[in-house]
Amino acid sequence: MANRSFLRKIMPKRLLLWIKHLLEEWIPINSILAAIREQKLLPVYNQLAEIVPDITHQYTSFDVDSEYLRTKVRAEHSFQIALANEALQFINSQLKDTLTIVDIGDSAGTHIQYIKGLHRDRNIRSISIDMDSESVRRIKEKGLEAICARAEDLASLSIEADMFLSFEMLEHLMNPCGFLHSLSQINCKALVITVPYLARSRVGLYHVRANQKRNVNPENTHIFELSPEDWRLIFKHSGWAIVTDKIYLQYPRRSPFRFWLKRYWQRCDFEGFYGAILKPDKSWSGLYNGW
């Protein structure tokens, strides 16, 4: 705090604003744009921007109202939808005339809009599940089907799906193993999941770590932030086999500034996101007698 006060005294306000813009906008935006070009996600990024031009109200807790946030969220969506498209190709031969997609933890119906926009030739029924009544209201206002429920209660809703989507939701759950196992008991062909990417697993619970005794909820609390290696074990144990998995980084691997960009994202956010396409498989979960 003392250092910041000292900098304010010796630096002109205009220079401070420029440094702030550099750190909070220019560096992350250009890092992400370079990353999606390198990871061949730019065509999907542009398609999604045409289908849903405005993602300001993607979340109920804050607005996506800056160039940085719009770039970051849209790039993340591009990775998620690219995975969903790959999953659709995987299950294509098994599909009926009507494809049912259930998005668990859906905050705005945006991913369903993307998929319907990209696959206008398909008859797609969508069901969005979220515990936040405001999110459910917004989704219904778009003419989409939505149910207000906890993800953990999904198995009791008698919902059938060809494909489940779960984007940045598992890390918020008290018992991800129990949730994944209950989901594996529902007749479906694929589950597409993304979570924050960390090279080494850790427990989130930032408010406890900082000794901040305040009310929190599942929407704003990360509990388990696991590495891909540990998530793979969880998937197998909980009744799923991995069809394919990928890591999306928010910085380009081949940049000469890779080392500094990696540290930047580790400090300010996450390096990227880990995603997987899963199919039901009881070969490991059937060996565990504790369900």
| Per-chain mean pLDDT for the chain | 92
Tell me what percent of the residues of the chain surpass a pLDDT of 90.
80
CATH number, span 12-287: 3.40.50.150
The pLDDT score that the predictor gives to residue 98 is 83
Rounded average pLDDT over 98-123: 94
pLDDT at 18 over 70: no
Rounded average pLDDT over 144-151: 95
Higher pLDDT, 69 or 220: 69
pLDDT at 80 over 80: yes
Confidence of residue 22 (pLDDT cuts 50, 70, 90): low
The pLDDT score that the predictor gives to residue 233 is 98
Confidence of residue 160 (pLDDT cuts 50, 70, 90): confident
pLDDT at 166 over 80: yes
- Least confident interval from 46-60, 93-107, 130-144, 148-162: 93-107
The pLDDT score that the predictor gives to residue 9 is 59
CB atoms < 10 A from the CB of 147, how many? 18
Listed by start position, the domains of the chain span: 12-287
The pLDDT score that the predictor gives to residue 8 is 58
- Least confident interval from 13-17, 26-30, 47-51: 13-17
pLDDT at 169 over 90: yes
Q: What is the pLDDT of residues 173-215, one digit of tens each?
A: 999 999 999 999 998 999 999 999 999 999 999 999 999 999 9
Confidence of residue 238 (pLDDT cuts 50, 70, 90): very high
- Least confident interval from 19-33, 78-92, 221-235, 244-258: 19-33
Confidence of residue 93 (pLDDT cuts 50, 70, 90): low
Q: What is the pLDDT of residues 35-77, one digit of tens each?
A: 999 999 999 999 999 999 999 999 988 999 999 999 999 999 9
The pLDDT score that the predictor gives to residue 96 is 67
Higher pLDDT, 167 or 158: 167
